[in-house]
Structure 1
Amino acid sequence: MKVKITATVVAVATALAACGAQQSGGAAGAWPRKGKPVTLIVAFAPGAAVDAAARVVAPVLERELGTNVEVQNRPGAGGQIGYTALTKAKPDGYTIGATGSPSVVVSPLDPSRGATYTRQSFLPLGMQVLDPMLIGVAPDSPYKDLKSLIEAVKAKPKSVSVTTTGVQTGEHFALADIQQKTGAEFAPVHFSEGAASATAAFLGKHVQGYVGNVSDVKDLVAQGKVKVLGVMAAERSPFLPDAPTFAEQGYQIEAATARGYSAPAGLPDEVRTKIEGALKKAIEDPAVVAKMKDLGLNTVYKSGQEYTTYWTEQEATVKQALPLVRNTKS
């Protein structure tokens, strides 16, 4: 039986072939659509290190993706508001977010937080930095070194108020670790909108001590506005070479904030590959690395898979410390 090939048959066959190509990867090839921007959600207020890092990466990411990347701040609840917005977004590649550990790790682990997302709601795309934590005081503080501060707080629990960027954030867990290993129970004051609010409160002398990241205080140290008593890292920070580590002073305490980027779970593999590749180029771009150094942030790139592994390991650590953190909310 002979089939008469008509223009209609050819048109239908062509359309079906195009549809099949689209389903097998053509959709990713067309992503992002011309003129459609990518929103990059930052779960903290402008001025925080996570916001600064995202704004440094965004222009290079725009170049690599060929479309605008718009940074959108969604601060509050120690990052939970922004993370909720990220995980509720359609997983089509047009919404990604900056994710900071352990805040993004812990919020779904505590039922009292009422998080609408779980660990599986996120698809890690890549890690950018590890930012060590520290504790600092005003230059005229009576505490001249870490030991004098620790001993004073041990003698009188909750006698010294210190900042965090929210309940169950990295600073909060660091304080719980200090309490567990030294017996010193500080009085945390939580600023859930981020480091900018915490810094303002500290500089205004509303809080006695500052617990945060190296990047938060690098410039303040240079200006003589804060004295760092200890950095929670194995080695001294290249950004604060005169600041001793906790380990140097006899306290085996290490803590850092890991910052990276994630998408809502369910992102098509082809789109994920495209975004992850663009992020790698942006994060490792020499100009971006240099700007990050100016901000006091050391680039430590990890791929999406490596970031996922790091996230899983940190989750196990957080689960162990969570009971103590729950008892030190204020």
Structure 2
Amino acid sequence: MTTRPNPGRRRLLAAGAAVATAPLARPALAQAAWPTGRPIEIVVGFAPGGGTDVMLRALALFLAAELPGANFVISNRPGAGGETAYAALQAARPDGFTIGGINTPGYLSVPIERRVRYDRAKLRAIARLVDDPTAFVVHQDSPYRTLADLVADAKRRPGEISVGSSGVGTDDHLGLTLFQAATGTEFIHAPYAGAGLVKNAALARHIDVAGLNLGEIGMLGQDKPALRPLAGMGEHRWDLMPEVPTFREAGYDVVMTSERGIAAPRGVPDEIALRLQEAIARVVAKPEWTEKARQLELPMAYLPGAEWEAQMPAQEARYRQIWEKTPWQQ
């Protein structure tokens, strides 16, 4: 049997690269009409190829059709678990021409562990799109077939097995922290600047286990995918991967997901924020988006910005409890 590549992701990355390298217009006047006055920058806090990058490139293409005349430019600014991008987004003029992706838990958890260059009070959530279960993923040829296999080997070789993540304080890292506490094990944490790099490290066997979200693996539609998940950290199995058990089913009380959505500087006019939110809502309601999301393996979970923000204090409290019990560090 042969492996069939996922054409959706490949075409999307090519299209997104073309958008990102398109020449920018001349500097716009202060009162440039939104959304056509100049290109709208979408700041991505992680390297190309990961779940956040792929989602936002797809969204940009669909939003262009919902906002006639709008021209979106992808700007990848990876680093510090998303902090670099969040700081840039906060510093941007609140005119609607700079928006960006935000990811929980990192957006909420990184400020718990250290001082950061952004303030959540100065950023405004526009919409949540995805809630993607975190997972432990291994190379197809890995000797680990189950989480129990991994735990048994980790207890034989404490501090020798490497687990990659998208950065300190991200969902992958927090999931690893919870797993170590639940099992009494110790792993080597290997942070990268995005899920695409983690995935490449797993494919090249530079790490033993990859902390990825189920939607980032790229295994649907393939007869023999190069990577395979041991288990996912969602409350329930994902309907697109019903064969993948949860950590709880395997006997480990570990629950962690990655929410991904759009935000803008807090001072963005309400009219622009609402137009963006409504445009995103129209996109996610389209059958064409549903099919694209399936191709890109995006676990959709749309929420308007205000509803998403209303959930964040409880999420932050949970991450603070994790920090107090089992501080996550490099």
Render the CA deviation track for 1:69-89: whole Å, top value 9, x for unaligned: 222111122211111111110
The structural deviation recorded for 1:231 is 1.2
Q: Which of 48, 63, 66 is 1:64 aligned to?
A: 66
- Aligned equivalent of 1:92: 95
Render the CA deviation track for 1:106-146: whole Å, top value 9, x for unaligned: 223333xx422122121001100111111122233232211
TM-score (norm: length of structure 2): 0.84
Render the CA deviation track for 1:126-172: whole Å, top value 9, x for unaligned: 10011111112223323221112113223442221011011111111
Render the CA deviation track for 1:80-106: whole Å, top value 9, x for unaligned: 111111111011111110111111112
Q: Which has the larger radius of gyration?
A: 1
Q: Is the 8 A contact 1:151 1:184 kept in 2?
A: no
Q: Distance in 2 between matches of 1:290 and 1:188?
A: 35
Q: Distance in 2 between matches of 1:147 and 1:280?
A: 41
Change (3 A) 1:210 1:62: same
Q: Distance in 2 between matches of 1:258 and 1:242?
A: 22
Q: Distance in 2 between matches of 1:104 and 1:327?
A: 15
Render the CA deviation track for 1:217-263: whole Å, top value 9, x for unaligned: 13287533223211112322223222222122112221110001000
Alignment size in residue pairs: 298
Q: Is the 8 A contact 1:284 1:301 kept in 2?
A: no
Q: Distance in 1 between matches of 2:321 and 2:252?
A: 20
Q: Distance in 2 between matches of 1:315 and 1:327?
A: 15
Q: Distance in 1 between matches of 2:285 and 2:97?
A: 22
Partner SS state of residue 247, structure 1: coil
> Are 1:105 and 2:108 matched, yes or no?
yes
- Aligned equivalent of 2:57: 55
After TM superposition, the structure 1 stretch with the greater mean CA deviation from structure 2, 248-257 or 150-159, is: 150-159
Root-mean-square deviation over aligned CA pairs: 2.1
Q: Is the 8 A contact 2:168 2:329 kept in 1?
A: no
Q: Is the 8 A contact 1:126 1:301 kept in 2?
A: yes
Partner SS state of residue 107, structure 1: helix
- Aligned equivalent of 2:178: 177
The structural deviation recorded for 1:308 is 0.4
- Aligned equivalent of 2:119: 118
- Aligned equivalent of 2:22: none
> Are 1:194 and 2:194 matched, yes or no?
yes
- Aligned equivalent of 1:25: none
Q: Is the 8 A contact 2:45 2:79 kept in 1?
A: yes
Task: Give the % identical residues.
Answer: 33
Q: Is the 8 A contact 1:168 1:325 kept in 2?
A: no
Moved over 6 A (4+): none
- Aligned equivalent of 1:309: 310
> Are 1:260 and 2:257 matched, yes or no?
no
Partner SS state of residue 181, structure 1: helix
Q: Distance in 1 between matches of 2:202 and 2:145?
A: 17
Q: Is the 8 A contact 1:57 1:283 kept in 2?
A: no
Q: Distance in 2 between matches of 1:241 and 1:147?
A: 20
Listed as ranges, the gaps of 5+ residues in structure 2 are 1-30
Query: What pairs up with 1:75-90 in 2 under 5 angstroms?
Result: 75-90=78-93
The structural deviation recorded for 1:31 is 4.4
Query: What pairs up with 1:1-330 in 2 under 5 angstroms?
Result: 31-32=33-34, 34-66=36-68, 67-111=70-114, 114-191=115-192, 193-219=193-219, 222-323=223-324, 326-329=327-330
